[in-house]
Structures are given as structure tokens and as C-alpha cells.
Structure 1
Amino acid sequence: MRKKLARWKSQYISKGGRITLIRSTLANMPIYFMSMLSMPRKVRLRLERIQREFLWGGGALERKIHLVNWRFAMEREAFWKQVIRGKYGEEQRGWSSKEARGETHGVGLWKTLKKEWEVVKSRLVFVVGNEKRIKFWKDIWCGDEPLCVSFPSLFALAVSKDAWVKDVWRCNEGGGSWSPLFSRPFNDWELEEVCSFFVALNRKQIQQGVDDRVIWRETNCGKFSVKSLYKSLVSGHPISFPSSAIWKVTVQPRVSFFGWEATWGKALTLDQLQRRGWALANRCYLCQRHEESIDHILLHCEKVRTLWVLLYSMFGVQWVLSATVKETFSGWNGSFVGKKRKDVWKASPLCLFWTVWKTRNKVAFEEEELSIQRLKASFVYFLWSKTKRSIKDGPSTLVDFVGWVASRYGCG
């Protein structure tokens, strides 16, 4: 596969072309033998890496900085951890670094990661070993919440509210037992809660000769992933990925690919460049008034809104723009525009996004002056050129196309 793909210079091929070439190399692989013999995991991962590097032109779309905090807790002797600890310091128990301070220039990447630590921490479970790294009352290690939350009245009576788990455990011939210290004897009405408290404790015991460790509750394997964190944060409002609205449309693959990038929020707008460490000002190239993000440049920019108004007026519909590109694709249902116009309607957001992005790049890199009339004309022409073949007995000229979209004859 590497030899086949190496013949092509990926930086000179569009994203759609790269996808086609990757598929062609996959088609030439010995699928029949692979169906009988299990492919080694290392080989599979290597093939995926080769495809990924070719698709993105020599590098992944996003540097995987999101795993650093998790590895900080687990890889205790790694050299990279010593570097982070030397620069930022380490929290008392060693689960994370201290918060970065004093970063006034560029992007405080580590500072941003550290701010989200409390969000991550609430989804962790600690497994007790023989170290002093887990708080008896304040960490989640016995049940689904800290003991101070499960048993607040007992926590109020605790002698040491910051006690370590190891200090509360007493070793004996039978293995060991729990001996938390309280400030006074219990009253009769408190005994039921005390009983429940020790029943919960007795399900746990310290594992001698084993280090304290942490488990991520949102995955079956116990390892952290950004995907699982994202799902847990948006679980109340899940939005499925609108694949059919992006890939099953009569436009070029590169146009669909850009729509896919935009939906994931990975197009290289100015805010994305800042997140990747570029020190630059962030101002929309088109309106020059707001910060540039993918949702702003494609949906909410006042210059781009004129295109949306034009599109809705062409179809004679009233529509409210969604907040994000993903929500726009998810809600782009064209059943009300009629069968004949449906293909044009489905292709409209992709064609509009592509036109805006190309115009934005010309303004940014070629210093072309923005013209709203030229922007409108480019959009309508691009929409017509990409959908005219899907219209049976449809208009043959651009002027006829505009009239056909707006007329009742396109609603059949």
C-alpha cells in the first residue's frame, strides 16, 4: 500500500481524489485471504496510519494532546512526565500537574487542559493499592460518589476529613479492616447509617503490593478517550452524525469532504489555528467584525447571511438557521420542496459552504476584495453546475434554472 500511494504527491491532489486513491489501493488487497486469516493488530494499525498520513498530506488532522492528562496519572516514570512536572509542578497526589500560570503570550495550551481537569475528575474511579494517593472521604473509590457525599453526617463527625485510604486501613492476621476515627460515639438513631457505611466499606480492601491507579468510568476498558468524554457531556442532547446529508449528495467528493470537515469543526479557521498554537489575531475575513469560527463563517456572518436569504427566496421557504453546521445538516429535510427540486435542495448547503470557503480563502490569501454580488453569482452558478445533471428534463441555462427552482413546475 505504501508503494502504491508513494507514487502520488498527496499535496497536489484534492481530498476527494485522495479518498478515491485510498479506496483503489484497498480494492487491490487480497480480501479473499484476509477473510480466512485474521490480520495481526499491528498490521491493521499500520495500514490505518498509512492511509491517514496520505489523506491528510503527511500528518493527522489534530495533534492528540487530549491524552496527556490521562497519561500523566498512569506513566509515572516517563521522561515526558518529568518535563511537565519540572515546568508546571505536580499536585500533591501526582494524578495531575498544577495549573499553568503566567502564560501571557500565544496559547496557554496546558492551562486550558488543566481547567477541564475537574470535569474529567468527576468521571474517574480510584482503585486502592498500598500508596497514599487516594483520599478516604473525598475521592470516588467506594461506590459511585465520594463517601463525604454518600454519608454527609458521618463525614461531619470525622476526625480527619483529609485522611488517606491507606491510613484508615488496619492490617491484621485476617487481612485487614477499616478503622475510621470519629469525634464522638454514635447515637442510637445514627447506627443505621453507620451500618450502611461499613457494609459499603467491607466490599473494598487494600491490595498489598499494588500501586494506586485510576479508571475512566465512561469506557468499558477503563481508559480515557475524548470521544467517551464528549458523549458523556452531550448525552442529554445527542445529535447523530448527518452522514447522508453530506456524502449522499450530487456534488464532487471534495465538496462533501469539506462539508464533513466543517461538521466536525476541523476546517482551519482562525480559531482552530489559535488552538494549534499559532499566535495571530482572530477576525472574520468577510465581515471584519467578529471572531472567525467555522459556524460563524458559514452560518452567522452578516455577509454570508445574504446567501442564505437568497437561497430561501429561490425556493420560496421560510427557514431559521441552526446554531451549528452539524445541526444545519441534521435538520436539512427537503420533503416539502417536491421530488424534482429535492436533489437541488439537498445539495444547497454543501454548495453554499464551498462557495463561502473559496471566497474566504481568496480574500485571505489573494487579497481579493469581497463583492456580495459576485458571491451570490458564484453560489448560484456552482449550485446549478453541480445539480443540473440530476434534473430530468430540467433547465439548460442558468437563468432558466433560477426560474425553474422558484416556479411550481419544480415541485412535481
Structure 2
Amino acid sequence: MLSSLALVLECRVSKWPLSYLGLPLGGNPKTIGFWDPVVERISRRLDGWKKAYLSLGGRITLIQSCLSHIPSYFLSLFKIPVSIASKIEKMQRDFLWSGAGEGKIDHLIRWEVVSRPREMGGLGFGKTSMRNSALLGKWLWRFPRERSGLWHKVIASIYGTHPNGWDANMVVRWSHRCPWKAIAQVFQEFSPFVRLVVGNGERIRFWEDLWWGNQTLCSQFADLYRVISVKNLTVSNVFDNSLPLFWNFNFRRNLTDSEIDLLQRLMSSLHSVLLSPSSSDSRAWSLSSSGLFSVKSFFYALSKDSNPLMFLPAKFLWSSKVPSKVKALAWLVAHGKVNTNDKLQLRRPYKALCPQWCILCKGNGESIDHLFLRCPVTIGLWHRLFNLVGVIWVPPRSIEDMLVISFKGLGNLLRGKTLWQIACLTLIWMVWQERNNRIFEDKGRTEEMVWDLIRFYSSLWASCTEAFRGVPLSILQLNWIGVCVSRV
């Protein structure tokens, strides 16, 4: 009969699971095989042969493109198993730190740090599980806003509605082959960022919902809440605009002196609340100025909760208009994780040069702060840069401090800030290039030649930015200060 029906309808016979709109329909997302298409596509995108043709900045860009497109479609609906998330992150981790050479790979920075947002010292990859939770949170936001939608009606009929009247029931004891059980598990992380906005007060529970302050009123005034006879009251049930002195709390006994003081505090704090009979109650997302949910803001909040420390050089590094390979090097330098001789002596003693020798100055020990800040050759380049802009400069304690201190060498205008960032990062990049050329190719340039290259690349990259549109490269290269102070 099945074959006959397929012949009549002119379609083919298939079986579960099948692919529908690019997603497996009827499959079990808890199984490993369910996620094979995602893993295979990422594996093809991050093929090992590509590492030989990409800089660190290029590998970072490719990983970010994989994160943005390949797994997001699946992650926006299904809960990813821990083993699959770990496998995807391992592929990304190995590709990030792989180079053109063979042998054991040094992972210079822990993946826990790499996956953090850029403002916190990472590359913004994020943990796959956090990205998954942020994408699933969108369904929790959409549920009360699309009450007329078929999908809303299906979920509400299967799982029921939460006592707050906004969300679906979060206590899900069965799945019905539906991903909502996994979505419901995100509610605990999602709910702290949702604020209820009072309109007519008919849908907001006075005591149990978060609509005033940073805590629910039942938490702020727990002693009063204990003696309320009817607890599930809405805001409109408790007070009315037409009778501002009438408060319908319905206490089940007379209040003590301390409870009366609490009641006075509560009434005083709510004296400015006004209902709007013409508008209905609504929900707002506290993490955005518009009040609308965004996956990015939720993902950032989850990442921030796991690591609240800020990375001070982040703004200087990632807002600069230099190529990605230069930003990537500066990021490693700021973390103190570049493979200088002292680091190699710890990781690969048999590969390291003498840790007490710097190939640029032929003396001292090659550490990150020495190579990029205190080496006589490097500090000569820094002095040239500061002398060019007429700034008296005292070397800071470390290269990280150098990237944090706000020098206004080229003024406060957009052009000056843009070119100063580019020049500083270009100097770091050229010092690293010169160091590697002398070690691996036995080729060296004079300090004058390196400085000329710094000025050339800085001018070239700056001329490609919006701030210097219309400024010829030849003019910019000859007169940094004149071009930066000019508003034309």
C-alpha cells in the first residue's frame, strides 16, 4: 500500500530520520551519528593541508567562519552532546595552533582563554556549549511573543504553560521526539536577563515575577509574602490607578510592627508605578538597549559569567586597522606567549637557542619584554616613533602596559588615533619579522631600513581605512602629523 500511495502522489518512499530543510527530521540528537554531518563539514573546512598556506590570523578567520555558519543551524534547535562539542573544539584547537611544520604542536594559550570573548583576552570563539545555549534561548524569547503561531500552540498543548503565564512549562518529563526538553533546560540561564514591563498589569504576577528592582518582591519582602492569603495576584489586582491609596494585599492576619514597617517601605518604593490600561504587559531583554533579545548579547553574558576579568589591551588590539596576522601576533605578545628563546627553553630545550642571547642586540636574554620593548634595537625604533610625533617617552614596565597606556602622539582626532594604533602594532610585527629573518634565513636589515618599512606599512594600511579616504599614500608617508591634524 505504501508503494501504491507513493506512485499515486508521485513521490518516493523514505524512512526516519530524513532530511528536511537541512535538518534531520525524526532523528535523536543525543546520538553521535546525528551530528556526523556537522563534524564532517567542519573537518572538510579545516583540512590540514590549508594550514601551510595560512598565517595565524588566517586560521583564526577561517575558524570564526566555521563557527558562524556550519554548526549554528543545528545548534539553534538541538542540544549538542558533550562529546561532540569536545570533538569540534579539538578540531578547532588543533587547526589554530598547527603550522607548516610537522611534529608535536605547541598550544601556546589554553583553550579556556582562547574561547573567551575578545574583551576578556580570547579570540571570541566561545565554548560550543555556551553558543548552543545562546541559540536555544531565542526560542524561549519567541514563545510568548508568537502566541498565534502553530508551533507555539503545539508546544503549549504538549507541555502546558508555566504558572507565570508567559513561558511553556519548564518541567518536561517526556520528549515526544521534540527538542523542547533541551530548550527548556536553558530557562534557568535565560530568565535572569528578562525584565517584565508593566502595561495594564494583567499578566504580571505582583510577588513572583521580576518587574521591579533586581529581585522579585517575594524575595525582597519575604516576611510580608509569608502572610499573604492569595499569592498569585497580578499587579492590577493589587493596586489601581483610580484608587492610588487602595492596596489589595489580603493579609491573612494582622501585621506586627516590623511587618508594618516593611509594608510602608514596599508602598513607598512603588509610589511611582502607574498602570496603562491601553497597553498590555510586555517583556524586555535587559542586555540590550532596545529591549529585544539577541543571541550575541546572551552568548556574551554567559561567557562573562564564566570569566568576569577584562583584558585591558583588547580594545587597542582589535579596534586597530591592521591585517589579521598582525593582530594575532600582537595578541600573543600581550599574553606573553610568543616563542622567544626563553619560552622555547622551557617547551623544547633541544630546539631553543641560547636563552641568554638576543639575535638583534647580540646580548641579554631574549624574552618577550626584552625583544619587543627593551632590546637596544627595538627601543631605538620606539624612540624614533615618539620623536617623530614630538612626545617625550619613558619605557613602561612591560609590553602589555605599552598596549594599555593611551599615548596621544598623533592627536585625538580619528586619523591620529587610527594611525597611532597601526604604527605601534606595525613596529611589533616588524621586530618579529626581523628577528625571524636573522635566525631562519640569516638575513638582517639595519635599524634605518626597519624603520623605513615600519613607516611604509603603517602608511599603506592607514591609507586603506575610512579615516584616510582621499589621502594619497605618498603624502601620508611623508607627513603623518600634518595629515592627522588636518580635517580635510
TM-score of the superposed pair, with normalisation by structure 2? 0.46
In structure 1, the partner of 2:464 is 389
Matched residues in 2 for 1:60 and 1:258: separation? Answer: 15
State the one-letter code of the partner of 1:55.
L
Distance between the aligned counterparts of 1:375 and 1:409, measured in 2? 23
Between the aligned residues of both structures, percent identity stands at 28
Structure 1 residue 240 displacement after superposition: 3.3
Candidates 324, 328, 337, aligned match of 1:253? 324
Give CA deviations for 1:272-316 in whole Å, capped at 9, x if unaligned: 110113144121110011110111111111111121111112222
Match of 2:344 in 1: 273
Task: Report SS of the residue matched to 1:278.
Answer: coil
- 3-state SS of paired residue (2:320): coil
Residues 7 and 393 of structure 1: CA distance in aligned 2, closer, same or farther (over 3 Å): closer
Matches within 5 A, 1:13-412: 13-57=54-98, 59-62=105-108, 240-279=311-350, 280-282=353-355, 283-334=357-408, 337-339=411-413, 340-390=415-465, 391-392=467-468, 395-398=471-474, 400-407=475-482, 410=485, 412=487
Query: For each residue in 1:4-50, what CA deviation from the matched residue of structure 2 results, as whole angstroms up to 9, or x when unmatched?
Result: 21164313211111112112222332424413322112211211110
The AA in structure 1 aligned to 2:375 is C
Query: Which segment drifts farther, 262-271 or 23-32?
Result: 23-32
CA–CA distance in 1 between the matches of 2:484 and 2:44?
Answer: 53
Read off the aligned partner of 1:374 and give its amino acid letter: M
Kept in 1: contact 2:383–2:393 (CA 8 A): no
Return the letter of the residue paired with 1:29: I
User: Partner of 2:315: helix, strand, or coil?
Assistant: helix
Greater RCO, CA 8 A, separation 6+: 1
Deviation readout 1:336-370 (Å, 9 max, x if unpaired):
71312110012222100001111111111111234
Task: Determine the structure 1 residue equivalent to 2:152.
Answer: none
Deviation track 1:37-67 (CA, whole Å, cap 9, x = no partner) reads 2211221121111001001117342498xxx
| Cα separation, 2, equivalents of 1:326 and 1:374 | 26
Contact 1:312 1:319 in 2 (8 A): yes
| Residues 44 and 335 of structure 1, relative CA distance in 2, 3 Å threshold | farther
**CA contact under 8 A between 1:53 and 1:60: conserved in structure 2?**
no
CA distance in 1, matches of 2:310, 2:88: 30
Give the aligned length.
240
Q: Which runs of 5+ in 2 are unaligned?
A: 1-41, 100-104, 111-306
Structure 1: state its 5+ residue gaps. Answer: 65-230, 232-237
- Tell me the alpha carbon deviations over residues 184-241 of structure 1, each in whole angstroms, 9 at most, x when there is no partner: xxxxxxxxxxxxxxxxxxxxxxxxxxxxxxxxxxxxxxxxxxxxxxx9xxxxxx9834
**Aligned-partner Cα distance in 1 for 2:315–2:109:** 28
Do the aligned partners of residues 366 and 33 (structure 1) sit closer, same or farther apart at CA in structure 2, a change above 3 Å counting? closer
Closer, same or farther: CA 40–319 of 1 in aligned 2, 3 Å? same
Q: Report the Cα distance in structure 2 between the residues aligned to 1:243 and 1:261, rounded to whole angstroms.
A: 12
**1:335–1:300 CA distance, 2 compared to 1 (3 A):** closer
Change in CA separation of 1:403 and 1:302 when aligned onto 2, cut-off 3 Å: same
**Inter-partner Cα distance in structure 1 for 2:455 and 2:109:** 37
Question: Which amino acid in the other structure matches residue 322 of structure 1?
Answer: P
Aligned letter for 1:44? Answer: A
Task: Report how far residue 325 of structure 1 moved.
Answer: 1.8
Contact 1:52 1:60 in 2 (8 A): no
Tell me, yes or no, if the aligned pair for 1:286 and 1:370 is still in contact at 8 Å: no
Q: Letter of the aligned partner of 2:354 in structure 1?
A: A
Contact kept, 8 Å, 1:338 with 1:411, in 2: the verdict is no
- In the alignment, residue 443 of structure 2 is paired with which amino acid? E
- The one-letter code matched in structure 2 to 1:250 is K
Between 1:254-263 and 1:276-285, the stretch displaced more is: 276-285
Q: Distance in 2 between matches of 1:409 and 1:242?
A: 23
TM-superposed CA distance for 1:270, in Å, is 0.6
Structure-2 change in CA distance of 1:336 and 1:40 (3 Å): same
Judge conservation of contact 2:411–2:417 (CA < 8 Å) in 1.
yes
Task: Confirm or deny: 8 A CA contact 1:314 1:402 kept in the other structure.
Answer: no
3-state DSSP of counterpart to 2:46: helix
CA contact (8 A) 1:307 1:376 kept: yes
Measured in 2, the distance between the counterparts of 1:276 and 1:252 equals: 29
